[in-house]
Amino acid sequence: MENFDADVIIVGGGLVGSALALALKQTSLTVMLIEGSPPAWDWPLESWDQRIYAISRASRQLLQRICAWQQMDATRLQATSAMKIFGDANAASLQFNALEAGVDELAFMLENRELQKALWAGLADCSHIQMITPATPSLLHVDERAATLSLSDGRQLRARLVVGADGAHSWVRSQLGIVPQVTPYEQFGVVANFTIEKSHLGVAHQWFMPDGILAWLPLAGHRMSMVWSCNDAKRAELMALSPEALCQYVAAAGGALLGALQLITPAAAFPLRLNQLPHTVSDKVVLIGDAAHTVHPLAGQGVNLGFGDVAELAALLVQTPVNQIGDYLLLRRYERARSEAVYTMQSVCHGLQKLFNNTNPLLKTLRNLGLGATNQLPWLKRQLIRHAMDA
């Protein structure tokens, strides 16, 4: 009889890795979660996390099934009822409305750390899930019997399946020798949160501008979160502004739609790149979340794609006899099931980014005509909304 330390070892306890561990809590599989830096749990109640996510309907349903959604403070969640998108010429605009699409909301806005806390809380006091943190792996060895993970502290852990959920610079991926095709956008996502003078009414705004894409996302209460995808020069300019000057600059960029702004979390900048992988599985190892794919944040879909991976992989593992969960052919089934959703989302976001990050005057006319024309087609808008909600 084979000896395993766990059926599944997950490397990376970010949102995606911890969601998979929690999804597996409802099974009889034994799980180890290896995380390099344990999250901090204590923060002043009045503070807001820098990282804000738009969570799709499909992701919310997953989080409800694994009982993480119910653990979050409902007063810090914000439903998005509509989204207004503005082009960069001729007052072109496109609006998506939950009511018109026959749904309650387009997405929920929430803080990374609140969701992370809810996921980790769900993993505590579970006899068949072991959290190993802080810990970092140093070697991954796979043979026909097991995947063996050596940790830097000398421990060796044998499992039937190793899951790499260790983010865009995945260590697990590098151990497999998988080299992603990286397309740098030469852009940064500059994020900051503000209090606002006028109510946002649950509406998100996005402006495609000649020098970037600005998004204002509604946060609970009189607050909003900004994501400005911009080039390095604009990033440097934004990051150098004093809090007061940043508020005035951002308010002016959005036509003062929400009145005066006050900064509640300082600006931070994240480099943006598209990572596409030739494959995401090998014998006894699978990659999920940002380890398997990254996407431009203009549609706010990165973590939603990762939660889609979790839903698919957990469903497959539940149906599979435990001695087969690392089988290459089974993992290929998972890979095939996810490839279309990942490819579509990467292509759409990449295409939009390229279309608007372009000074060709003909393209400028066409893209703005396209926005306006789409706005006149309710059936197309309904399709787009449903795709974004269920991706």
Ligand X SMILES: Cc1cc2nc3c(=O)[nH]c(=O)nc-3n(C[C@H](O)[C@H](O)[C@H](O)COP(=O)(O)OP(=O)(O)OC[C@H]3O[C@@H](n4cnc5c(N)ncnc54)[C@H](O)[C@@H]3O)c2cc1C
Return residues touching ligand X (CB under 6 A).
11-17, 34-37, 53-54, 136-137, 165-167, 171, 189, 191, 227, 270, 289-290, 297, 300-304, 306
CB of 107 to ligand X, least distance (A): 8
Kindly state the smallest distance separating residue 296's Cβ from ligand X, in Å.
Answer: 9
Smallest distance from ligand X to CB 340, Å: 18
Q: Which residues of 141-170 are buried (b: 16+ CB within 10 A; e: fewer)?
A: ebeeebbbbeeeeeeebbbbbbbbbbbbeb
Q: For ligand X, which is the closer residue by CB, 160 or 235?
A: 235
Question: Shortest distance, CB of residue 91 to ligand X, whole angstroms?
Answer: 26
Q: Considering beta carbons, is residue 296 or 381 the nearer one to ligand X?
A: 296
For 146, phi then psi, to 5°, come to -155, 165
- Summarize the chain as % helix, strand, coil (round to 5): 40, 30, 35
Q: How far is the CB of 248 from ligand X (least distance, A)?
A: 22
Smallest gap, in angstroms, from Cβ of residue 350 to ligand X? 15
Structural Rg of the chain based on CA atoms = 22
Residues 148, 156 contacting (CB under 8 angstroms): yes
Q: Which helix (H) or strand (E) holds 316?
A: helix 302-319
Q: From residue 377, how far is each of 98, 101, 103 by CA, in Å?
A: 15, 12, 18
Closer CB to ligand X, 101 or 267, in the complex: 267
The candidate with the shortest Cα–Cα distance to 341, out of 308, 367, 310, is: 308
| Residue that is written with structure tokens 């497959």 in the block | 316
Residue with smaller CB distance to ligand X, 258 or 295? 295
Residue the block writes with tokens 């509640």: 264
Query: Which CA distances in Å does 302 have to 15, 47, 155, 226, 370?
Result: 11, 24, 33, 16, 25
CB of 142 to ligand X, least distance (A): 17
Burial readout 17-41 (b: 16 or more C-beta within 10 A, e: otherwise): bbbbbbbbbeeebbbbbbbbeeeee
Q: Which is nearer to ligand X, 172 or 325 (CB)?
A: 172
Q: Which is nearer to ligand X, 29 or 54 (CB)?
A: 54
Q: Which is nearer to ligand X, 54 or 98 (CB)?
A: 54
